[in-house]
Amino acid sequence: MKKRDPRYAFSYARVSDPRQAQKDVSVPEQLRKIREYADREGITILREFTDLGKSAYRDDVKRDEFERMIQEAKGDPRVSLILVHDMSRFVRRRAKAVLIKADLAQYGVRVIPVLNPYDSSTIAGFWMEAIDETRAEAESMATSMHTLEKMKGSIAQRDPETGWCYKNGGRAPAGYKNIRVVRGIDHRGREIVRLLWEIDEEWGPRIQFIIRELRLKENMSFDKIRDYCNQQGWLSPEGRPVTTSFIREIFRKDRLLQLAGYAFWNREDRKTRGRRFKPEEEWVVVPNAHPALITEEEALRCRRLVEESAGSFNKKHHPQENSRFLLTGKNIFGEPFFICTHCGGNIVGDFQGGRHKLKYQCSTIAYEGKYTNRCLPGVKLEKDPIEQYVFAAIKSNFGAPERIRRLVRDINTAIKREQKDYHEAAILLEKQAESAKKQIANLVNAIAKGTPPEYVNPEIERIKKNLEEIEAQKRNLLVVKPSSQMIIDEEKVIGYFCRLDEIITSDDNRLKRHFIRSFIRRLEFDPDTKKVEIFWFQDPVQAALAQNKQHTGHVPDVRESAGVGGGT
């Protein structure tokens, strides 16, 4: 009998609720079943990864161990498998699962749920795996909807002793603190604990001072307010230096009204990529819900000042997609394009006006000011030399048209795969909507044939709510569906390349930004050494360069890495 080649794997276990630790889906139980499967199949587990209290359904929850496992699996040539208890432990959203598995497949890595180890290379296995993923997503969606209904009722419910509204959990905003109060005993004999907000003794007066004195009276900018707070030695409620984004958050319209006693719920859109908030008409707003720090009139005055300042700023500055800072913002996949290796912040443009040269600097310095200790203040890159070097590196590495064609085809393949996955998700939602409509029609027919309405109406209402949720997801999906315009025209890119000198001197910043991102996945700046490293998109020629350690071209304080699929 032929001996099977050794196979190596990572294993992953997760629970979204600490209470699951007492059930049969606990992390030790998941890992035990994974180990049993690995022993039976002769698989060696190199490392086990676990996430506790992390949802696999919500896109806004960061799973540190999961992300680390994915990156290490792609970087370790020994790993060909990721073992999980079932697909719901890996990713609950089918569209996202398809994307992640397709990405892993490019590195020769497969995901196997040990409870249902389907062979996805066969037709039957492919369908069974798809059904399993869809079932996991549907179960998670049902749990989520039930939880949301309970939360919606909670926010409008007032405490009989204080008169304030109950909160649904989470961190209180700056100026407030969470307090927990006991309000009776439930049917199991346990205390009923509810959450309220009280004014924080430290940050409550500070918020009042910032709004009334620094903004309304002195009309300070966000940056000046930030610097004032840091000069006073104030730390944010999280224990970090005060940043511009922290100050800007205070002066958001809903935050100002929150400080005036309003409660908001159902604001954040956790499902639509690229959109933080839902339309305001979908928000649940409750006045006089907690103690107010400022008056409603002060909140509205502050907001008018912010909008006036924003209006004058927008007249002077262009949107980022047409920014003269060619290296700021995102890459073609929406990932950060230029990163500081010291603190992990994005590199942003720095313009002081007058005779000052345009420069790049870390966003941590830009937003936290020179008093921060999280990055190196005063370390900046002059804009023109680094951009000229980037263009020169592209020209040096991609001189041959065939090399450009291979790179463009790789990028377009990834984009088309994402478009296909979104198309499949849209079809799935359409089928779910049609199924819900048929169920409602059948129940209405049952009433017409004599079934008492009181037996049927609750089920009709439940299905209607499910249908509303499905329709909302369909609308959200249309918003984030990848556009066919994302596809890169390889002949156009070759044409760009042939007239590179013309592009460099062009006034069309949008064109130059797109050209750079057609070749480079990301840039990294090390402020300690003042060096910049280039990470190219995956390319067979670049892989050979990386293996031979051949670097093309050197300039002062800049180095280039011929990376494969994101760098070496």
Per-residue pLDDT of the chain (568 residues; tens, 9 = 90+): 455 678 899 999 888 655 544 454 688 888 999 999 999 889 999 999 988 765 544 444 567 888 899 989 988 889 999 999 887 778 766 667 777 887 888 888 888 888 876 655 555 555 555 555 555 555 555 555 555 555 555 555 788 888 888 887 778 999 999 999 998 887 778 888 888 999 999 999 999 999 999 999 888 888 889 999 999 999 998 888 998 889 999 998 889 999 999 988 777 766 555 567 777 767 778 888 899 999 999 998 988 888 877 655 444 444 566 788 899 988 877 788 999 988 888 898 887 766 678 889 888 888 777 777 788 877 888 898 999 889 888 877 776 666 667 767 766 776 677 777 778 878 888 888 888 888 888 888 888 887 787 777 888 888 888 888 888 777 776 655 655 555 666 666 666 666 667 777 777 888 888 888 878 888 999 988 888 898 887 543 333 333 333 333 333 333 344 333 333 2
Q: Do the beta carbons of residue 327 and residue 346 sit within 8 Å?
A: no
Region label for 557, one of left (φ > 0), alpha (ψ between -120 and 50) or beta (otherwise): left
Q: Do the beta carbons of residue 466 and residue 436 sit within 8 Å?
A: yes
Runs of H (alpha helix) within 518-564: 540-548
C-alpha distances (whole Å) from 473 to each of 187, 460, 466, 469 are 37, 20, 11, 6
Strand arrangement of the beta sheet that strand 520-526 belongs to: 338-340, 520-526, 531-536
Q: Where are the domains of the chain?
A: 7-142, 176-316, 322-398+491-548, 403-486
Output the pLDDT for position 509. 85
- CATH number assigned to the domain covering 7-142: 3.40.50.1390
Distance CA 188, CA 94 (A): 37
C-alpha distances (whole Å) from 368 to each of 118, 228, 235, 328, 506 are 50, 11, 11, 18, 34
Q: Name the phi and psi angles at 205, rounded to 5.
A: -65, -30
Distance CA 512, CA 528 (A): 29
Which residues does 477 contact at the CB level (< 8 Å), separation at least 6?
422, 425, 426, 429
User: Tokens 């009989």 label which residue?
Assistant: 160
The set of long-range contacts for 538-543, using a CB threshold of 8 Å and a minimum separation of 24, is: 538/410, 538/564, 538/565, 538/566, 539/403, 539/406, 539/407, 539/410, 539/564, 540/406, 541/397, 541/403, 541/406, 542/397
Fold of 176-316: Hect, E3 ligase catalytic domain fold (3.90.1750)
Distance CA 261, CA 149 (A): 23
Helix (H) or strand (E) holding 309: helix 296-316
Which residues are paired to 536 by β-bridges? 520
Helix (H) or strand (E) holding 334: none
Grouping H, G, I as helix, E, B as strand and the rest as coil, residue 381 is strand
The answer to pTM > 0.75 is: no
Output the pLDDT for position 561. 41
Checking DSSP bridges between strand 381-382 and strand 284-286, what pairing results, if any? unpaired
- Indicate the length of the chain as a whole number: 568
Mark 335-364 as b/e (b = at least 16 C-beta within 10 Å): ebbbbbbbbebbbbbbeeeeeeeebbbbbb
Distance CA 360, CA 348 (A): 6
Q: Name the phi and psi angles at 46, rounded to 5.
A: -80, -35
Output the pLDDT for position 551. 34
Which residues does 12 contact at the CB level (< 8 Å), separation at least 6?
48, 49, 50, 51, 65, 66, 69, 82, 83, 84, 89, 90
